[in-house]
Chains A and B, each alone.
Chain A
């Protein structure tokens, strides 16, 4: 539990017996944390374990309810609102905080512009920005606008910005969540360069292999408690996972009930072509859970959106219950019993400023009409049913949905989707950003739906989830179908091999040839 061997350097930043409550809800319980210059210290834990709160306290954005922070051996109170950046503690947020229309050099010097005779010294800012980018070995033009950069380059700009502020402690909240494998490697090189210069790096990640690769030490949090701080060399991915969840992972998933061998094919997609999708074919049987695995950006969402009619389909056939189907609009696929549940809860799934009821019935408002007018009591009954069925917890139905926890939002969205009584449900990342207890509930709901004879396509970037629930797994890579796995083939390493392009299915080669 104490600091690992091989780090004789003095501790630069530490949290001592930190506790934090929001109102009456405790979020962190007496957590210790420290980091030395040149060290990479990973924080890991399930959603809701208190990781974000801990780094917010370490960067001064939140103040601890009790306990103290030491910086350079001195007990300090970190200034709020990011003012701790001036002290050398820089937090890079999960959602990037760059103004999309500024140039790279404008972004780097935002708020501390170099001035000459009261005017902006553009030339010097540009030169300094270029120097920072060169130091990071990043090839980005200082005059390029942020909105023209890739996600990875944006992240590099954030890092350059942090370095330009002489960061001594760099805190990164899930920096790799939106990066490809190659981009992740570039990021790791940068982090190694920074640590070689004595910068201390704290980073949050869900990806165990990354942590094993990069971190010197790992701190595991669970339900706001410090479980352990361990040197990475003493760990295996399995032991980390065990510590995170605190129980056998297998309990998380309900037992699988294979669909009947002769169960009819309810949805068949042949040679689908759309934006970001190249020549995809698959079929889905009644009562089946078909997993869709792959890296972020591999085109899984694009397939779903093209099938249900959200996006334009430029080629291919869709057969629903044996009959050819063409959905030009979402409304048509919903009517045909095919529903898509988006992964973007806040941007595409729910109206955050509205209450539970209008959100639940938005997809199926026509069911609540009486003589052409909305029937409030019918909507209220639907909400009552959904609250009971999906265990949605809200203080009252009028509370704005944006104020619910991620888990309750997700369950409400599931309720909304199921209101259309679909036979086929495409669930896109149904457990993203929610706590493990709610995840387990959702897993059981998915399994129960399949057992009832509903057919489910489960798109997920959490490989354990795909493996734990799916009867078959489609692996996608760069818009193509890389392979279909069945039964005992469904393992993490096998999925990874297809997702990373090490293995290609022969079937697919034949089709695309």
Chain B
């Protein structure tokens, strides 16, 4: 009898909570768009919007991987440094292959393959240390974050790795061109997002991620191979970092020790703003997409107006992250 009491008490509170949970990030996005429109007539212009989205797509693709990792109760702090290493190695591989393969798409494709492969290998390493080595994800990825960052500095000899000029010319369209006027990064971001949403909601893997993040013991007792699912989330994360980097390299054609700095925090912030719970058990890809776009729009709006210094970008992003988590907690206790 005592136990059945909450069943009834929960009814009105729950309806309210679900509503806010779904609408929250979308509401914030709509408010930002309205704010942008009211501040500057150029905000809604095609070139401005594609610019914001294309810049957001690197973080966005990485954040989609992070959504799986975090939903399964993990964390990957190494993605920013991993991106830098992958960018560096891709550039080195392409430069090195020019004598044998010549200038052309084959070199670029080889570089892309190397980038994705390296991302996967880095993911395997993170994942194995966490699952087989039984070390906390925070510690492992904090360690690899330092390792990767130092590696790229070493490879660049403290300076900058630059892609051969002629290859860079071949590669450039991957960032600057697009299909029907939509830049490639946005298209890839959209495809990864759609794929991620499907995997999260309509595959056993997605369900298992949420189950493991919710309660690892329950997952184990439900005959789920917890270690393998966990490992897979880190591999997926690594591969998606690779995908993001192969869109990023043609933008500047170079990599240095400052490439991808703080990307991991932006990605995690996007995931959290989107409504995925940091301690795992519940994740949604479309929320992450909204979260990343919100972060991108804040910077963009600050650049388009003159009242507030754009140098406060980070402060605004920080406020949004804290607000998002506050709202999440408010919902849970209501």
A residues lining the B interface (CB < 8 Å): 22-25, 27, 48-50, 52-53, 223-224, 310, 329-331, 334, 340, 342, 344, 347-354, 358, 362-363, 365-366, 369, 372-374, 394-395, 398-399, 403-407, 416, 435
Contacts and interface: CB of A to CB of B under 8 A. Distances in A.
B214 A365 contact: no
A50 B5 contact: no
A394 B3 CA distance: 13
Contact of A22 (B5, B217, B218): B5
A331 B225 contact: yes
A25 B10 CA distance: 13
A77 to B, nearest CB: 22
16 contacts: A22-B6, A27-B5, A49-B1, A50-B1, A310-B220, A329-B225, A330-B223, A331-B224, A331-B225, A351-B218, A354-B281, A358-B210, A362-B219, A374-B201, A394-B7, A405-B7
A406 B204 CA distance: 28
B204 A365 contact: yes
B211 A362 contact: yes
Contact of B1 (A24, A25, A354, A394): A25
A362 B214 contact: no
B281 A353 contact: yes
B332 to A, nearest CB: 9
Nearest to A369: B204
A26 to B, nearest CB: 8
**Closest 10 A-B residue pairs measured CB to CB?**
A22-B5, A330-B223, A331-B223, A405-B3, A405-B4, A48-B1, A362-B222, A373-B202, A351-B214, A348-B217
Given A331-B225, A362-B224, A395-B11, A373 B203 contact: yes
Interface string B235-270: 000000000000000000000000000000000000
A373 B6 CA distance: 35
B7 A48 contact: no
Interface of B: 1-11, 14, 18, 198, 201-204, 207-208, 210-211, 214-215, 217-225, 281-282
Given A351-B281, A372-B203, A399-B14, A406 B3 contact: yes
Contacts of B217: 344, 347-348
Given A310-B221, A330-B221, A331-B225, A351 B9 contact: no
Given A351-B214, A358-B207, A23 B220 contact: no
B220 A330 contact: yes
A404 B9 CA distance: 11
Contacts of A404: 7
Given A351-B215, A362-B211, 13 more contacts: A48-B1, A53-B2, A224-B1, A347-B218, A348-B215, A348-B217, A348-B221, A351-B211, A372-B203, A395-B11, A398-B18, A403-B10, A435-B1
A344 B207 CA distance: 22
B249 to A, nearest CB: 33
Contacts of B202: 373-374
B223 A24 contact: no
Contact of B203 (A50, A52, A330, A374): A374
Contact residues of B: prevailing secondary structure: helix
Contacts of B219: 362
A27 B221 contact: no
Contacts of A406: 3
A48 B3 contact: yes
A348 B9 contact: no
A20 B322 CA distance: 40
Nearest to B217: A348
A353 B14 contact: no
A347 B2 contact: no
Contacts of B3: 48, 405-407, 435
A347 B204 contact: no
B180 to A, nearest CB: 29
Given A349-B218, A354-B210, A362-B224, A50 B2 contact: yes
Interface hub of B2, B18, B201, B202 (most chain A Cβ within 10 A): B2
A449 B201 CA distance: 34
A342 B223 contact: no
Contacts of A373: 198, 202-203
A159 B230 CA distance: 43
B223 A363 contact: yes
Given A374-B204, A399-B10, A399-B14, A25 B5 contact: yes
Contact of B207 (A224, A329, A362, A372): A362
A366 B223 CA distance: 11
A342 B2 contact: no
A441 B56 CA distance: 56
**Among A224, A362, A395, A404, residue most surrounded by chain B Cβ atoms (within 10 Å):** A362
A365 B212 CA distance: 14
Contacts of B8: 22-25
A128 B324 CA distance: 46
Contacts of A374: 201-204, 207
A353 to B, nearest CB: 6
Contacts of B225: 329, 331
Nearest to A416: B222
A52 B207 CA distance: 36
Given A347-B215, A351-B281, A353-B214, A334 B223 contact: yes
Contacts of B6: 22, 403
A252 B328 CA distance: 45
A351 B10 CA distance: 18
Contacts of A416: 222
A23 B2 contact: no
Contacts of B1: 25, 27, 48-50, 223-224, 435
A403 B9 CA distance: 10
Contacts of B218: 347-351, 362
A228 B209 CA distance: 52
A366 B204 CA distance: 7
Contact of B215 (A50, A352, A405): A352
Given A331-B225, A347-B215, A353 B204 contact: no
B281 A48 contact: no
Nearest to B4: A405
A52 B281 contact: no
